[in-house]
Structure 1
């Protein structure tokens, strides 16, 4: 299983009883980066009644912080953080800006509005699954290509690059858990004739089927 991260932040708006809620989501790699982002949003929406925030950082979501920014305690920051944790998103910060519309929403209404805003903000963002594994280069002759393509297709492993010269080189990004089985299958399919190079400890994801290496 990979780690869900925000690849590209998004923004979405919600109107609830004339109050305007604007959710802005951004990928962050450190607490410092998160606080800079929050400060920038507060500056952008300086005339808003509230700029509540939540962020989670780390492989195990070790760093978690949230703020109600003047809303009744527990009605904004914590529900926002709960959405990030519930979606199992890592390295993400969200600010929900509220322009008060003159009608009180009540405690339950605020919790729902702030939670919903974060859900909409995440929906407007690009969220990807970052996986740990290996970058593998398989070298084969032209006779072996068809077998390998079939074998990879069966396992849903995309070929991220291929070179056709006097030999064929196929580059793959493979999850840790499937490397050993794949190596055995390749060896068997090509009667041990295929070359195998492996670079371990690679973090990668696919964004609209395009590979991204971190």
Structure 2
């Protein structure tokens, strides 16, 4: 079963005057991962390379960012695969120290930067999440919010118009049970405008 990370972890190594700043972190999507890579580029404008590897289901990818082909992104991706991770971005920022490492040396450096971060990482089971809209009467809102809070489901948006619409984030596996319980809790007044994601 794939796992992800509880939080971001950093690991730095120095090899022949080059600094390799490794980081692994959980991400929800490829778009989020690419935003993080761009933020790293902005944070480290003097870096020679910002290489990355992403395991995110069908949106996985990697980049050598100017390093010789296959010496950065692929070794980083292999470390993530070896640990059966998903929803994880690995990045390594390299500050060049003036001494060439050769293909083998680069592969070891990028592998070690990611593997060193993974040693410190806390892994957690990856739970598929869903967002679900619930429309209910104003009189039912407090009861429904209390019920959701007791189960640690997150209300990520609320609209108050002729009725209350709550957008809830919860594990996909729990959607059916939530609907059944909330129909009962609201005596059938709950409206379900969408199907689960």
What root-mean-square deviation, in Å, do the aligned CA atoms of Structure 1 and Structure 2 show?
2.2
The structure richer in strand per residue is: 1
Contact 1:3 1:131 in 2 (8 A): no
Aligned-residue offset at 1:106 = 0.4
Aligned-residue offset at 1:45 = 1.0
Larger radius of gyration: 1
TM-score, normalised by the number of residues in structure 2: 0.63
Please list every run of 5 or more consecutive structure 2 residues that lacks an aligned counterpart in the other structure.
129-170, 175-197
Residue in structure 1 matched with residue 185 of structure 2 by the alignment = none
> Which digits, 9 at most, give the CA deviation of each residue in 1:129-159, with x for residues without a partner?
3468xxxxxxxxxxxxxxxxxxxxxxxxxxx
The structure richer in helix per residue is: 2
CA distance in 1, matches of 2:172, 2:108: 44
Aligned-residue offset at 1:200 = 9.2
Aligned-residue offset at 1:15 = 0.7
- TM-aligned CA distance change 1:75 to 1:131, over 3 Å: same
TM-score, normalised by the number of residues in structure 1: 0.58
> Which digits, 9 at most, give the CA deviation of each residue in 1:150-179, with x for residues without a partner?
xxxxxxxxxxxxxxxxxxxxxxxxxxxxxx
* Pairs aligned (count): 134
> Which digits, 9 at most, give the CA deviation of each residue in 1:57-101, with x for residues without a partner?
13xxx2211000010111001111111111111100011000111
CA distance in 2, matches of 1:41, 1:55: 15
1:17 aligns with 2:16: yes
- TM-aligned CA distance change 1:14 to 1:56, over 3 Å: same
Moved over 4 A (4+): none
